[in-house]
Structure 1
């Protein structure tokens, strides 16, 4: 069944990228590492703050020239970026951790570095090298008695051996559970039990009722543990996965299915997913429930559940083409059972589209992983060349010492020995130098090609972000002009069209620029706001207060989406009796190289706006795109951030948006 396979894959993915904090002996933890771990703990709630705190810890370790702390901080940053699916940063910090660990004798640093590199190799589908690194980390953490990390890595190793070696999968999963129970932490125990449950689920495929009952009993005990220790388990998704896997066991077990137990598991999984916003757990619960009613013959219930899953998935910012194809495939199966061929064809069209998109994504991921492996192997080749050079230099030194010793035994013997040995090693050196020159030339060509591809990719991404913002505004503006023309308000339509033309020209010019002056940005904002005033019959006023130099350089098209949100969602819904006011202020923080932009409105406020948008299916991407741009800027300036809050009750209603924009 498609839904079952997807859930199992999703569960392993979450387990594989979790980092279990603690467990290492307290006396081995420095203040810098503690700071990095505190930042890492925020990865689920505030990823921007999490990365900023960890970067500060890494910079402190670099200032102190502490290689061990650099290795550990780099490992934490690597695992944080893995959770965010940032392959480039994940690779960068994992390799930084590995290089720093090579320069120290600290076993803890080497263990963290090996763990980060093993996780990276696993991420890019290089299982062989991933196992080498993870087994190294597993041995070092065992010596350090870091039981929770032994449990974590043992589980990861068991997943890597699956499905090739059932014996080793069981060995490392059972060892992970033993270490987790030694740690005594419910979070670690649940993590390890899911690893054991994974191979128990695989065994049930044989149809043996005894093995099925063993798996059901084990997962019942797992869910009971999760319910009992709910407050101590940080990763709530693991609780949902336990219920989902138990539901899968009931669905695929002996018939008739224990309907009450099956639906009870799904209800608990759904409750957890809605409480903690676990989207994949929620979608999987819907899919399993739909599959159950499909097999039961209650087609209308199954159809509504599959369509609910599709609507929920399409409402998310990022589409999961695998799940969409699975839901449409289930709808096709339902239509085929009812012999409704028109519906079957209607479902087959989106099924084929999402199936193709799924294949394209898989191909793109394979190419990305291959490129990452190539880059990593290229660096490894360069390191091997340097080691060969060092080895050759050492051999030449030993040769010199040998010649000096031979001189004591006689000039004639020395001459013969020196001549032939020197000739031999000179030939070897010439060969190695020629090989090195050829390899360096090859690497230069590959680096040039990679840099050109990267530049094209970055340029395409920038234009893609901008193209997602401009059409949205153009659509609204042209709609307003059309409405004025239909109302025969010619003068207002001409004025509106004139302002729209000027604004469109400015936005076209800015879209071709990497940066613009603050003066140009303010002029564009004035033009845009005045255009909105005309459209809304001057129902609001605005004020722009600039306390910064107008010659400052900043990225284009960054502030306009928030001004648009203030007007559309704050001022526009105001009652006719209330006059709106929009204020935009600019201040410069020269010490931090930051331009602070504050956008204030006296509109209906965030709470009321969200309430009114409950049934609105429109999903605006402008704010999310701006968040992603700010997150990219964070790497160059740690003070970059976005704050959105409602005005204090004493100041009336409305919203305050504050952007901290790096000065270019």
Structure 2
């Protein structure tokens, strides 16, 4: 997956323009006070110290030092704690994180003495923000969770939602995507129950979900959530949040191979960041523009942008963004005069920064880049080593089980959202019915009321039942698709294929190892690419099946041949098919049919049109099911049942009559699969 910068928004302050007007008023008020007016002057100093921290933190520290002296003289513990807390804000704004943490700890110690749990939780949250800026997401999450529990005990839903958004961001950067999605949806639900769907906090959560969907390569969904945030930011005139969202929308368009749309959004973001004088935001927009130029294959322009942003991230000690920048610089050098040595160095630097940031997905990106570069340089052993590490690491954070969990979280949120709306509507209708009953209680009798109530219960019950049926069907779809993916990527096949590559390397058979590795890498890539699609082009699916058959053919020492025929009435470039739906039958033909034979066998795969259906057949001349009926029955039946479930779901969704038939021949087995005939355009 392509690497890019994402932007998050924590709402700790007001819009900078509004803040400046507040500063002007407070400075005027400060001039009218004198040192004898301790109480009034102390309040003005503290408010100034808070408002200075984004625009002029040095001034903020100066006025807060005076506030601390006044608070100590008057033994005003509450104001003293706030002064320390706001000093922490100003130190954090200057990038002096250790001093910021020390100030927050001083404030927390006072809040402990005064038993001010709410303010203590806010200071703990501030510490979490410092750890987040240092890319220490585990520490940040610990602080956010500690603050969340306090707000939960106080039943402060708004602050609970704010903490959940922060916790979700930490989960996302730690690559625990199911936990992140679940936390974001929990935060959304809190706002929706409060009917608070136009606030900046609600916008921030939608933006966070958009970022997560970008990481999950669901780019259209990502744009939808970012646009929800954009609409709120425009209404609220929150320019910083608007710029970040436009950057994130640009990233999604870049992934969708629409670089011109991406650059248009990045430029809008850059102009806003320039307008509010935010150098870091301007640099981030420039970085993303550079990545869009990579998509346009203008590598010189891309490098210019990365060279501008790299020193800024180095000064900020931002390992996450440095990993992204170096990886993209490596891409540029590998495409400029094939400068692979320079590219390799940048990929290594990217991997080191990704490990420092504890970002698994960025480590995978760097490992995959190192695999390709070493392969091009002829370092096949190193290429194999990096590829093996990438596969293991990717499995750890993007496993089938996590995909399944993500699908369940999404479905659970949809069901919960519908349930909340239904309960709300039902409660409102119940109250209206009660008022109507009280008004007309002398005009209605018990029989009519009882009949009406029964009718209402029946209608409501039917509505809930229908919603539950829809939810169950959607869960079945997600469960079947993910189990089908698990069957396609059989761990035994992966293990045996990697062992075969290793065997060629040990035998110093470089040509065979290279050939096998190329086919295997192409198969893995194509399978992962198609794993998120409901349908793929027939020509692409045939290419993946050919790759699979070639690998298995080589493993069996060419003990079988195969042929693939597509009738003239089918256009493979315009026909869609569920990805790898025929792969389990090919696997059965090879390992339960042909592998048992002494002589070489043959597999024939055919596609044609029949009664507006796509008619697919897998025909082999193996030993057949009768001779092999006691072996591997469980694995075979799982594959058959999964395919049958996928066809049943297609029939329901497309209103067609697809089917699957297994025919035992005198020698071998023939499988006939009928699917809906779907065109790409």
After TM superposition, the score normalised by the length of structure 2 is: 0.41
After TM superposition, the score normalised by the length of structure 1 is: 0.42
